[in-house]
Structure 1
């Protein structure tokens, strides 16, 4: 029997399998980009997946939870599974409809362009947000007063990043550089490798510190791999086999000059839009917090009677965290959070329970040497609180700073 007659059907099957995988990957790229958290179609797509979960897959417990800051909800994982299935369906339809058995090279390269611009937009957006008090602002008084053992793993990451303006700035700068490199064909491979390296670190932090952006960050790494995929053999020959190699570069050729000018103009409009819309974070200034600080209670007096430190009624600390949020730490270390209004002209502080209009305490404050004294009413009781203010710069985490020379490690 002729061996060619046996190998030909096998080769045909392998080619069909490769074409299917190629089409599946391309389909999934578009499905992810057009249904991700930055897409206007996200809500519509999630609603459709939710309907499938409840009516087809009988997953009655799945809900569409919005405005939580989490991208790893149960529904988000179902979106991934549904997108995988939709990509399979799309690939099969194209495969069976294509009688000419094309390789879809043009579609692949166009998809690479779409992926490049999408990843560039994400990198620029997150990068600029890190350059100036955006994604990781300086730690608040509430964060500085939180015990390390009581922090969430995610809170630990935010504390670490907020403690070092320099590290946060460099992290953002690297993301911006990766995004800019992806915007141009000549630097796209370097940009994808550069961005992938940066985003692997981000994804690892998300996974091992339980930051709920695992799905999204993993997909950005995967998109970088997809962009690099077309140059995989050239990179392998150069880095592994140490052979001369050249990356593929497709020069745009137009039959009319005006077409080239139009495409170039559109490209620079998109680049300008990405940079201007993302760099708006550079001009964000966090609101000032009057009297911000931790007020350590020295004496707590109710109705002219001093409350001992062992009494749970007394206050241990008063934390002025933001213009509208104040926390009280009681002697038993329980924490109460209040809506607050602080008026520096009348020197008053009003505390209300969260989601309630009832006034919890109305206090006047005055400065006496090194201490701040609060006097007023808590309910029907008169109170007087002698405190010592601790500012952000008084915390060891903030005042240590950078040292070129360390005779001994400062780790205490």
Structure 2
């Protein structure tokens, strides 16, 4: 059986693993700890000042201090990546020079430590993102705003999000692949198969992120390269098995500690913590997502008759402004919000609360919490037909409208059809 201790390390390999170790540690700390809910990376980060200085001095970039867009393929991110490369290069050379003086060989132990860090970092990160897909939290679901936005007005990333949110089946399936792979890499005996699964998954993620201009391309690329590092020593076995059809030698990931008690104890503590942490985090996120959905009144309302202070306003009359459409929508980004479009094209945004029993809707200011609330009574008068009445900014309003709900769109009214022409 091939093990890490059997390998020989020449000058290039020793330098390579020291560079990679430094780069991974500096890259992960502290922005990679997304799976630690209780940690605010900014509280322990030392990167902001030196990253901005590096970008200004060596790259000639200007930074908006209050909007660095950390983690979204920003100038700040690329400045930090290049700074990490520089620090890792200088650090690995100094490190190797010191090692040449002390004459102590520990490269294989360093590699085991790095592999252990990668296993847990990749595993926990992709379990986190996989569960977000499984519970339909990462992409959400299609809402009225999505369905009413013209295709040509979508960004590539927005189009991808709509594509993923359309199919619960596909989102859950891709999430399960990430969760399964993530769990497998947490254990040495299954690390290779887990890393291989995640490698395939991350190749797809990287291609999609690049193709659709998703703003976390470098994050995905780093995760992909980390999975490559985990299967790096298995490349020869993969070539022998899949390409040259030769027998292969099993590869065993070496333990970080020789004592089983220490290994199992630490693993148990880590897994118990993250199981509880993930449970609490997703329980809250699922609750928030559930509360943001409002099936009863969600829809876009085309207003045909608009009466203001007993005066009917015709939308075709340009000298007077009335309401043209009212869009009641719910999603995880803007829970329970209403967008009112006037006949002159201007829009107004509010939050809303609905009382199904009393048949009332209350509009609340989104930003100005001290502003007035506006209460409207509503009544259903026919199929998808409603009337509304209330007082808005001192004016008495009443209007009738026809609603268009999620079930009225071709994209959302049908589910997967196994027999296309069966009526």
Please give the range of the TM-score, normalised by the shorter of the 2 chains: 0.7 to 0.9
Equivalent residue, structure 1, for 2:208:
205
From 109, 133, 138, the counterpart of 1:135: 138
Question: Using a 3 Å threshold, how does the CA distance of structure 1 residues 327 and 67 change in structure 2: closer, same or farther?
Answer: farther
Distance 2:21 2:97 in 1: 16
Equivalent residue, structure 2, for 1:22:
17
Tell me how far 1:125 sits from its aligned partner. 0.2
Tell me how far 1:315 sits from its aligned partner. 2.8
Contact 1:125-1:279 within 8 A present in 2 as well? no
Question: Using a 3 Å threshold, how does the CA distance of structure 1 residues 268 and 168 change in structure 2: closer, same or farther?
Answer: same
In structure 1, list runs of 5 or more residues that go unmatched.
Answer: 1-13
Tell me how far 1:266 sits from its aligned partner. 1.9
Contact 1:338-1:354 within 8 A present in 2 as well? yes
Residue 34 in structure 1 maps to residue 35 in structure 2: no
Contact 1:34-1:41 within 8 A present in 2 as well? no
Alignment deviations for residues 16-36 of structure 1 (CA, whole Å, 9 cap, x no partner): 344322321121111112233
From 201, 210, 223, the counterpart of 2:226: 223
Aligned partner of residue 98 in structure 1, secondary structure: helix
Equivalent residue, structure 2, for 1:235:
238
Alignment deviations for residues 49-102 of structure 1 (CA, whole Å, 9 cap, x no partner): 345237744856213456968522211111111111111122011110012274
Tell me how far 1:320 sits from its aligned partner. 1.3
Equivalent residue, structure 1, for 2:193:
190
Distance 2:116 2:254 in 1: 13
Residue 394 in structure 1 maps to residue 408 in structure 2: yes
Distance 1:276 1:155 in 2: 33
From 332, 336, 339, the counterpart of 2:351: 339
Provide TM-score, normalisation by structure 1: 0.85
Residue 328 in structure 1 maps to residue 336 in structure 2: no
Question: Using a 3 Å threshold, how does the CA distance of structure 1 residues 324 and 406 change in structure 2: closer, same or farther?
Answer: closer
Distance 2:61 2:237 in 1: 49
Distance 1:396 1:252 in 2: 55
Aligned partner of residue 270 in structure 2, secondary structure: helix
Distance 1:23 1:342 in 2: 60
Residue 170 in structure 1 maps to residue 186 in structure 2: no
Deviation larger for 35-44 or 79-88: 35-44
Instruction: State how many pairs are aligned.
Output: 392
Distance 2:256 2:59 in 1: 53
Equivalent residue, structure 2, for 1:89:
90
Residue 115 in structure 1 maps to residue 118 in structure 2: yes
Aligned partner of residue 225 in structure 2, secondary structure: helix
Tell me how far 1:183 sits from its aligned partner. 1.0
Contact 2:328-2:337 within 8 A present in 1 as well? yes
Provide TM-score, normalisation by structure 2: 0.83
Contact 1:199-1:217 within 8 A present in 2 as well? yes
Distance 1:161 1:54 in 2: 35
Equivalent residue, structure 1, for 2:377:
364
Alignment deviations for residues 109-138 of structure 1 (CA, whole Å, 9 cap, x no partner): 220111011000011001111111311222
In structure 2, list runs of 5 or more residues that go unmatched.
Answer: 1-8
Question: Using a 3 Å threshold, how does the CA distance of structure 1 residues 181 and 223 change in structure 2: closer, same or farther?
Answer: same
